[in-house]
Amino acid sequence: MFENVEFANPQFFWLLLLLPIAILWYFITRHKQVASVKLSSTSAFNGANYLAKLKPILFILRLLALSMVIMALARPQTEDISTRTKTTKGIDIVMAIDVSSSMLARDLKPNRLSALKEVAAEFIKKRPNDRIGLVAYAGESYTKTPITSDKSIVLSALREITYGQLEDGTAIGMGLATSVNRLKESQAISKVIILLTDGVNNSGFIEPQTAADLAVEYDIKTYTIGLGTNGNALTPIAYKRDGSFQYGMRQVEIDEKLLEDIANATGGQYFRATDNEKLEAIYDEINKLEKTEIEEFKYYKYEEKFRSLVFLAGIFLLLEWLLRTTLFKSFI
């Protein structure tokens, strides 16, 4: 009955101090409430003596009724809270992912592309209130997923990104320009591109600086990430007869100056990820930098529980009155 119940007016519980006072007063005055008669024998009144011993039941019923009334005055109630959220500042994000052959290098485990997809998936899951799109690029670029709020579609598309879907190369300008094209019509208050590459711009017909100027024109912030260890990495260098890659050590070359210029021009930041842990930390940092403002509304619904207590008090008083006017009538 009183599970998860709170009391709106708990100060009324102080009235329970009246109960021990009433009990004390009853024991002091109970002998004065019944007239005494001296008889030579009381054998004819054995049944009446039994009822007289039960008379305190009337007082107990009054105490119970008083206790119920006091508890009812304290207003027991249950509280049901429902929460609704409203996004007051939405962010549209496009993740531009390099899928050139060098992304199969094994300086990150199991390779750069697989490590990136795992970390990017966690990033997407942490942005439930934003719209996200995917752009893949190598020697050319294409939109894998337009910006959408359906994270299941984005995550599914991310899993499908593999090497070999595009001509090999690294067209940073093309990847950035395609991302800008996805966001230029967006009505979101904040528009963000996260561009990742592990090399230098060596393909495509759009210069990275031109794409960066477009991002500035459409007020699109760009975070750039250079992916790869410092020094040499085990990288695909040729094809074997069976069509698989032959791996060899190769110097890691990332145009960090270009990536820094793009980030600075658009109001973003440049990061360097040299291992799995650093890559994860970078996406966590971007997640903290790009905050979506959420307004939360709480609705409180109260259900009063005092009615059952008032009903019980009435039952106790009615029972006390019936006993007093019938069974114990001759003793009052």
- 88-120 per-position pLDDT tens digit: 567 999 999 999 999 999 999 999 999 999 999
Burial class (CB in 10 A: 0-12, 13-18, 19+), 183: buried
- 245 lies in the same domain as 112: yes
Q: For tokens 């052959």, what's the residue?
A: 101
- What is the phi/psi pair of residue 40, to 5°? -75, -25
- For a pLDDT cut of 90, what percent of the chain falls above it? 52
What mean pLDDT comes out for the span 22-38?
69
- 63 lies in the same domain as 120: no
Strands 245-251 and 293-304: unpaired
Whether 270 maps to a domain, the answer reads yes
Task: Flag whether pLDDT at 202 surpasses 90.
Answer: yes
Residue 20's CB: how many other CB atoms inside 10 A? 9
Whether 58 maps to a domain, the answer reads yes
**Residue pair 163/104 in contact by the 8 Å Cβ criterion:** yes
- What is the phi/psi pair of residue 128, to 5°? -70, -20
**Residue pair 96/193 in contact by the 8 Å Cβ criterion:** yes
Interatomic CA distance for residues 215 and 222, integer angstroms: 8
Interatomic CA distance for residues 196 and 255, integer angstroms: 12
- 281 lies in the same domain as 306: no
Whether 220 maps to a domain, the answer reads yes
pLDDT of residue 201: 96
pLDDT of residue 266: 97
- 45 lies in the same domain as 103: no
**Residue pair 288/26 in contact by the 8 Å Cβ criterion:** no
- 53 lies in the same domain as 152: no
pLDDT of residue 85: 58
pLDDT of residue 176: 98
Whether 85 maps to a domain, the answer reads no
Tens-place pLDDT, residues 285-295:
999 888 766 56
Whether 324 maps to a domain, the answer reads yes
Whether 184 maps to a domain, the answer reads yes
The boundaries of the domain holding residue 60 are 5-80+300-331
Residue 5 structure tokens: 């119940």
Q: For tokens 């690029």, what's the residue?
A: 137
Whether 62 maps to a domain, the answer reads yes
Residue 179's identity, in one-letter code, is: S
Q: Is residue 259 very low, low, confident or very high in pLDDT (cuts 50, 70, 90)?
A: very high
Q: Is residue 148 very low, low, confident or very high in pLDDT (cuts 50, 70, 90)?
A: very high
Average pLDDT over the chain reads 86
Whether 86 maps to a domain, the answer reads no
Q: Is residue 31 very low, low, confident or very high in pLDDT (cuts 50, 70, 90)?
A: low
- 133 lies in the same domain as 242: yes
pLDDT of residue 300: 74
Question: Domain of 154: which CATH number?
Answer: 3.40.50.410
Task: Flag whether pLDDT at 37 surpasses 70.
Answer: no
- 63 lies in the same domain as 167: no
Conformational region of residue 228, where left means phi above 0, alpha means psi within -120 to 50, and beta covers everything else: left
- 129 lies in the same domain as 182: yes
Task: Flag whether pLDDT at 82 surpasses 80.
Answer: no
- 216 lies in the same domain as 276: yes
Task: Flag whether pLDDT at 329 surpasses 80.
Answer: no
Lowest mean pLDDT among 49-58, 86-95, 223-232: 49-58
Q: Is residue 50 very low, low, confident or very high in pLDDT (cuts 50, 70, 90)?
A: low
- CA-wise closest residue to 160 among 141, 173, 145, 178: 145
Tens-place pLDDT, residues 233-254:
999 988 888 878 899 999 999 9
Helix (H, G, I), strand (E, B) or coil at 179: helix
Task: State the total domains in the chain.
Answer: 2
- 76 lies in the same domain as 155: no
- 113 lies in the same domain as 255: yes
pLDDT of residue 141: 97
**Residue pair 272/230 in contact by the 8 Å Cβ criterion:** no
pLDDT of residue 88: 56
**Residue pair 222/261 in contact by the 8 Å Cβ criterion:** no
- 214 lies in the same domain as 257: yes
